[in-house]
Amino acid sequence: MWFDPTDRTCLGNEAAQTMARKIAFLASNAPSAQTARAALVARYGDVPEAEADVIVALGGDGFMLETLHRTQDLPAPVYGMNRGTVGFLMNEYSETDLLDRLAEAQEEVINPLAMTAQCAHGALHEALAINEVSLLRAGPQAAKLRITIDGNLRLAELVCDGALVATPAGSTAYNYSAHGPILPIGSDVLALTAVAAFRPRRWRGALLPKTAHVRFDVIEPEKRPVMADADSIWVENVLWVEIHSDPDVAHRILFDPGHGLEERLLREQFV
C-alpha cells in the first residue's frame, strides 16, 4: 500500500474517503479520456494536482509518461487508468470502485535516465527519459557510433540505424521491438540495444549496470546525421550523447495488486 494503512478514520463511505484522499484527475485530449474525467470528477470531486494526495491519469502510455514528467516534483504518486491503446503503464478503467483500488494499490518507484546531448551548433540539451534514450539515423545513410562506457572505449564503430539505452520499465517498449532484452523491474540493470546493426553484424547490444555512464560519439556527423530522443524530447544533428540513470529523481506509479510492472513484464514474455 502506498499510504499508512492505519489511517482509516475517515474511510466509512465514499464521500469521507474522497475527503481523506484528495484526487487530481488529468486526461489526454482523446474524447474517451475527457468523457471519463468528467464522470470521475462528478463522482469523486477534483483538486489541483499540487494539492492532491494522488494523481489519476486518464489516457494511454504516452499521456502517462507526459504526466510523470510534468509532476515529478510533486509528492503525489500517479495512478493511471487506460483510455488509450496499449496501456502498459496503466490500470484497467472503472468508475465504480476507484477509492478501494487506490487504497489497495501497490507502488513502483522508477528512476529515469538523464540525457545530455551536444548538437552541431554547439548547444547542450538535457532531458529525462522514463523509457529510453535512443539515437537514430536522420539521413539516408547508416549511422556510425562510437560507444564508451564509464570512460572505457567498448565499441570503436557501430554501423546501424540507431542504438538505445532502456530502463527496466521501458524495456518492453522500443527496446523490445528492436529485439532487446526484457529487464525485471527492480533490477539494477540497463539495456544497451542496437537498432538494425550492420557492423558488427547482428550485434544487438549489452546489459549494463544501472550505475553505468554511457557515451555515444557520432562518427562523420555531417555525412551521417543522427538525432537523439528522450521520451519524445528530440535533438537533431547531435555530435555526442551521454546517458546515465538519475537516482535523485523518483517517479512513483501505482498499480492494482497483482498487476504491477513485474507481473506485466512476465506476461509480455509468455504471450
Q: Give me the active site residues, please.
A: 61
Query: Which residue spans within 6-151 are E strands per DSSP?
Result: 23-27, 54-59, 78-82, 106-110, 113-119, 124-129, 132-137, 143-149
> β-pairing, 78-82 with 251-255?
parallel
What cell numbers appear for 232 in the block? 519524445
30 a known binding residue? no
Distance, CA of 112 to CA of 248 (rounded, Å): 9
173 a known binding residue? yes
What cell numbers appear for 188 in the block? 539494477
176 a known binding residue? yes
Distance, CA of 181 to CA of 160 (rounded, Å): 18
132 a known binding residue? yes
172 a known binding residue? yes
175 a known binding residue? yes
Q: Is the dihedral of CA 252, 254, 255, 258 positive or negative?
A: positive
161 a known binding residue? yes
Q: Which amino acids are annotated as binding site for NAD(+), given as ranges?
A: 61-62, 131-132, 161, 169, 172-177, 196
Q: Which segments are annotated as binding site?
A: 61-62, 131-132, 161, 169, 172-177, 196
